[in-house]
Amino acid sequence: MLVLHSPLQARHHSRQFLRHGRFVATRDVPARADNILAALRADGHVIREAPDHGPAPVAAIHTPEYLDFLATAWPEWQRIEGAAEEVMPYVFPVRGMDHAYPTSVAGRAGWHAQDLWAPIGEHSCAVAMASANLAVEAAAQVLAGAPMAYALCRPSGHHAFADMAGGNCYLNNAAIAAQYLRRGHARVALVDVDVHHGNGTQAIFYARDDVFFASLHRDPVDYHPFFCGHAQERGTGAGMGCNLNLPLPAGLGDGAVLAALETACTRITAHGATALVVSLGVDGHEEDPTQGLAITHDGFGRIGARLAALDLPTVIVQEGGYNIGTIARCVSTALAGFEGRRAGA
């Protein structure tokens, strides 16, 4: 399988991360991508960097104001006397009291953030753009006839809204790939198997019927992102019925996850999608520090095999996974599942 990566990824490493009221070390460290890349190289995958596709594919998903903010926030922030080294908001719009777009970087930082888990450093924008560019190239390869391609995206993307960062995500790589696939496919499906609900992805496509979104995740009633990802969220307007959330109780393993995936696959087939994007989060692994689900390595292989059995041209985009000791094997096993089924297993 073609694996796409960018050496720029190591330049993004957040120094501020707030959890339960305390600043702690971020789990999104450069070694996540490094370990995956080493394992996939050892597996014999074709590994390439991506040509620059320019800003248009990203602008097809994200608002002009948000993209301008990402590009200018860090240098503007540095001009604030006494500011921290990274952009982190301290005030947010209150529901119903967001009547004007602020001009100061401090105000815009709050406007364009859903939480305090996406600080912006000197290289964050450039690295996020490089990550999104990998997803675009994977989609371009699939449009050109490749049966599948994997984008080793870091930072991840599925918590990024059209105009907001959050959850270690700045640009929604999977959504950008799905939109790019629309150049050759009338209907696309996007399935998210990260342990956290892809709230940004859902919001982007919630009123659309051309991209079917399905998410398998730990039940957000007591888990991040809390306010989104519940079963009753089915879409709106033209998108009614094109959004499927399959929340799972804490600690469930392979059997329950695969049963939920079967439901998602049935709905994807019914939707008539002719191309697929997979948000491949492996933080549902039984040893991941997020402690959400209990998927085994073999379980990720079976997830890959079942999605491959849909027999759709497929873009696989990396999302979460935070156990440095297991992430590489999780991804390697998932991709082997995709390839094994494609080979006729």
CA 143 to chain centre: 20
Nearest to 130 by CA among 176, 166, 97, 76: 176
Q: Is 272 left (phi over 0), alpha (psi -120 to 50) or beta?
A: left
The first and second tokens of residue 37, run together, are 């890349």
Residue 337 and residue 303 in contact, taking contact as beta carbons nearer than 8 Å: yes
Determine the Cα angle at 49 with ends 44 and 53, to 5°: 140
CA 189 to chain centre: 14
Q: What is the DSSP track for 66-117?
A: HHHHHHHHHHHHTTSTT--SSB--S--PBTTB--S---SHHHHHHHTBSSSS
What is the number of helices (H) and of strands (E) in the chain?
A: 10, 10
Does residue 53 have an active-site annotation?
A: no
Tally Cβ neighbours within 10 Å of residue 131. 29
Cα(98)–Cα(89) distance, integer angstroms: 16
Residue in 53, 159, 197, 224 annotated catalytic: 159
By three-state DSSP, how is residue 49 classified?
coil
Cα(137)–Cα(24) distance, integer angstroms: 34
- Cis bond upstream, residue 119 (ω within 30): no
DSSP strand pairing (22-23 vs 18-19): antiparallel
Nearest to 233 by CA among 218, 222, 243: 243
Helix (H) or strand (E) holding 33: helix 31-42
Through-space distance between the first and last CA atoms of the chain, rounded to whole angstroms:
16
Residues carrying an active site annotation: 159
